[in-house]
Amino acid sequence: MSSLIPAALGWLVLGYVGVITAGRLILLRDTLIDQLVNRMLLWSIAALVCYRCTSTPSITNPVYVLALGCVVMTTMHLYVMARYVLAETGPMAVWQRLRRCGFVAAVATVVMLLAGMAARDNGRPVDLSAHGPAVIFGIAYAAPLAVDMVVFLLAGIHELRRGDLSAKMQAVCWTLGISGGFVLTSQTLSVAQLLTGRPYLGPHLPRGELDFVLCLTLDVTLLAIPLFSTLLTLSGWDREGRIYRRLRPLWRDLTAAVPEIVLPADARHGADPVTRLFRMTVEIRDALLHLGPYLTAETTQPQRKGELDWEITDYAHHLARAARARKAGQLPAVVGSVPRLPVTAHDFDTELRHLLGLARVWPKTAVG
């Protein structure tokens, strides 16, 4: 009886999970769920290492039994997360429950080790079968796993029934639910095979290892999505970061002419990308208001072909001259009221599109 996973593929999966786990430990560790997920991934890595250290699945092999104990511990983390979602308890209660679940997983592992030793001493088969030690072994492994997965599936159903999840989160819940359902189905078929001999799906232990590796790979891929999003944000290649860079030349030139409207540096430090972009748009619009008196009347009231259509290139050139004039300390061209801005947006997205249009032609103005 040998593993159903080729050694090269097993090590590849171990490396993949290790990279994602390392990234999450560095970048995603603030929330309680993130901390539980990261701990679960560490136990998963321990299980994969134990699996790789023995190529022959056997209840009499202590290293392989330790791998199964680590699998039980990973499902305990799913159980704790599910109870947290269902009961919405505080962090203290969550960590207390995790310690109790860890004790249960440790007891289950010790029982499996003792049952494996008894099977070895009695010369029993190394796979699960109907003899006493193997039955005890199977119960110690399958019972906590089944309970954990049922509670986890119930938590997923609870979240889906709330109806306030985004389409992305609904897809994640469905994927995790399918993964958990696959594990439960596999365990049910194993129990049926153990009790009745049907359906015959081959040895139990290699199939259990394959199920764990497949589900872990799928779940880790889902967990890599927020990690990838965080990396994009940190590198400035998320949507807000890209818009921020496109608006920056316009913002830099306008705030150089009207420096008093710029927020203090400490207020901008550590802001999330959405807040940082919002502040930049506010400062640009404030700068446009301050530069309004330096624009001529025909510039501030352009001819429009439609409600939102305006001569953006011509306006940009006049605006650049207004910025140079204010920066040089000249007097405003208009004294008294401030002329109306070329476009009045009624929402943030519309205003952002207008400013991006202005930023697109702004380099042609050559503000100095």
Helix 312-327 crosses helix 239-257 at what angle (to 10 degrees)?
50
Residues 235 and 229: their CA atoms lie apart, in Å, by 10
Q: What CATH fold (topology level) applies to the domain 7-235?
A: Rhopdopsin 7-helix transmembrane proteins (1.20.1070)
What are the phi and psi torsion angles at 336 (to 5°)? 115, -115
Global pTM exceeds 0.85: no
pLDDT digits (tens, 9 = 90+) for 48-104: 999 999 877 888 889 999 999 999 999 999 999 999 988 877 889 999 999 999 999
pLDDT digits (tens, 9 = 90+) for 150-188: 898 888 888 888 777 777 777 777 888 888 788 778 777
Q: Where are the domains of the chain?
A: 7-235, 239-365
Per-residue pLDDT of the chain (368 residues; tens, 9 = 90+): 678 888 899 999 999 999 999 999 999 998 999 999 999 999 999 999 999 998 778 888 899 999 999 999 999 999 999 999 888 778 899 999 999 999 999 999 999 999 888 887 776 666 667 677 878 888 898 889 889 888 988 888 888 887 777 777 777 778 888 887 887 787 777 777 766 767 777 777 888 888 899 999 999 999 999 999 889 888 888 888 899 999 999 999 999 999 998 877 654 445 678 888 889 999 999 998 888 888 865 554 444 444 344 578 888 888 888 899 898 888 886 654 444 455 555 677 888 888 998 899 898 876 55
